[in-house]
Structure 1
Amino acid sequence: MKKLLSVISLASIVTFSLFVFMAYLVNSDEVNIVDPLPDVIVDVYQTKPEKPAVDRVKKLPEPPKAPEPMPKVMTEIDPTLPTDGIGEILVNVKVPSTTLGTGDIFTKPDHDARPIVRISPKYPITAARDGIEGWVKLAFDINKVGEVVNISILDSYPKRTFDKAAKQALKRWKYKAKLLNGKTVYQTHQTVQLDFNMDQQI
């Protein structure tokens, strides 16, 4: 009996202690009040309503005008003309004959070499200083492209005074090559004389 009383008293004490502790906890809790967040304004943009489709009628270009009909040429056929047996009339047509030769419209005319570029010789300084005048006679060939080749001195006066200047100038000459039967050919045995005068020096 004593044990039962002691257990009941101990249970009563524990129960009372729990109620006291719970009351303490309830009184000591702090309630944190959170401020509400500001309202978020959402703008909703609406697209403009589409305009109804409009059917466009394309204008077709005006058709080109028909060309005027060619005037009909009426020809009278002599019934006495011979036929080929099936009703076709045989007519003799004379065609003028053409002959191709040198100088016609289909081929270039033949010609000898023609000068295109001529370079004057430089007057030698020593000859100009001493007032010496003279000339040089040269022989040369012209190749198929119009260049001057195989230059040689035939004669000169004074001797060897103007030879070098004359040859240097002649090397720079350009020709339109000789044409024979529509083809350029090599032309030989050409001669020229270059004069050296004080009043013409460059």
Structure 2
Amino acid sequence: MASIVRLLVGAPLAAIVTFLLFTLMQILIFEDGTPLEEAGDDVRISIAEAPEEIQARVRDANIDQVEDVTPPPPPPAIERARADQPTESMSTIVGGLPEFDRPSLAGGDISFDVSDRDAQPLVRIPPQYPPRANERGIEGRCSVEFDVTPEGSPTNVRILSCTNSVFERETIRAVERWRYEPRVQDGTPQWRRGVQTQFDFTLDD
């Protein structure tokens, strides 16, 4: 019931407000507006102005008259002395040249082959003293034999004689670390067989 009463009261009020607003808008639309300001003078803006004429300076190409210069006189001629040719022969002045016997290359004494050489040691590391022999105060001597490869490395190391077997292992290990210049024959590295050496194991006092 209350909603019906609000509808009956609000509808006429909304219609009246709408009519008043519509009437006010018509008055504002049809009312004479204020006159526009008179148009002012036309203003023209020029962005690109005409460039000023530049007068280029022209050099005077006329060449002044050059004064004549008198060249200096030529140097005086020097008389060259002419040496007299020797009348004696060169053998009289210098002396007789010594005569040498020309070597004969036809024989077989001269050889151009590369000289042969035996294996030469480069690096020789001495063996270490065995700790067990050092503790016991044992001294000794070992003889060893080995071969040298064409690359200069010892191989086939073997003990020939040893006063005590305690020195054999260090003897072989030392020889295996040596390095040689290989044996050369006719310019080609060769094997060197049967190289022998000896080691003395002595304790320092």
- TM-score, reference length from structure 2: 0.50
Match in the other structure for 2:131: 125
Q: Is 1:180 aligned with 2:185?
A: yes
What runs of 5+ residues in structure 1 fail to find an aligned partner? 1-23, 50-93
Q: Distance in 1 between matches of 2:40 and 2:46?
A: 18
Partner letter of residue 109 of structure 1? S
Cα 1:95–1:108 change in 2 (3 A) is closer
Shift of residue 148 of structure 1? 0.3
* 1:92-132 CA distance string (max 9 Å, x none): xx773166778x5x432112211111011111112122222
Q: Please give the secondary structure, in 2, of the residue aligned with 1:109.
A: coil
Partner letter of residue 135 of structure 1? R
Partner letter of residue 185 of structure 1? Q
Aligned counterpart for 2:144 among listed residues 107, 126, 138: 138
Cα 1:39–1:117 change in 2 (3 A) is same
Q: Distance in 2 between matches of 1:101 and 1:108?
A: 15
Compute the RMSD of aligned alpha carbons. 3.9
Match in the other structure for 2:83: none
The within-5 A match list for 1:85-164 is: 96-97=104-105, 106-158=112-164, 160-164=165-169
Shift of residue 162 of structure 1? 0.9
Partner letter of residue 146 of structure 2? F
Aligned counterpart for 2:36 among listed residues 29, 38, 44: 29
Partner letter of residue 29 of structure 1? L
Partner letter of residue 118 of structure 1? R
Q: Distance in 2 between matches of 1:95 and 1:155?
A: 55
Q: Distance in 2 between matches of 1:112 and 1:197?
A: 30
Q: Please give the secondary structure, in 1, of the residue aligned with 2:145.
A: strand
Partner letter of residue 147 of structure 2? D
Cα 1:143–1:30 change in 2 (3 A) is same
Partner letter of residue 30 of structure 1? E
How many pairs does the alignment contain?
127
Q: Please give the secondary structure, in 2, of the residue aligned with 1:28.
A: coil
Cα 1:165–1:32 change in 2 (3 A) is farther
Partner letter of residue 163 of structure 1? E
Cα 1:114–1:99 change in 2 (3 A) is farther
Q: Which runs of 4+ in 1 moved over 4 A?
A: 36-42, 98-102
What runs of 5+ residues in structure 2 fail to find an aligned partner? 1-31, 58-101
Aligned counterpart for 1:169 among listed residues 149, 169, 174: 174
Percent of pairs with identical residues: 27
Q: Please give the secondary structure, in 1, of the residue aligned with 2:195.
A: strand
Cα 1:136–1:95 change in 2 (3 A) is closer
Q: Distance in 2 between matches of 1:175 and 1:98?
A: 38
Partner letter of residue 189 of structure 1? G
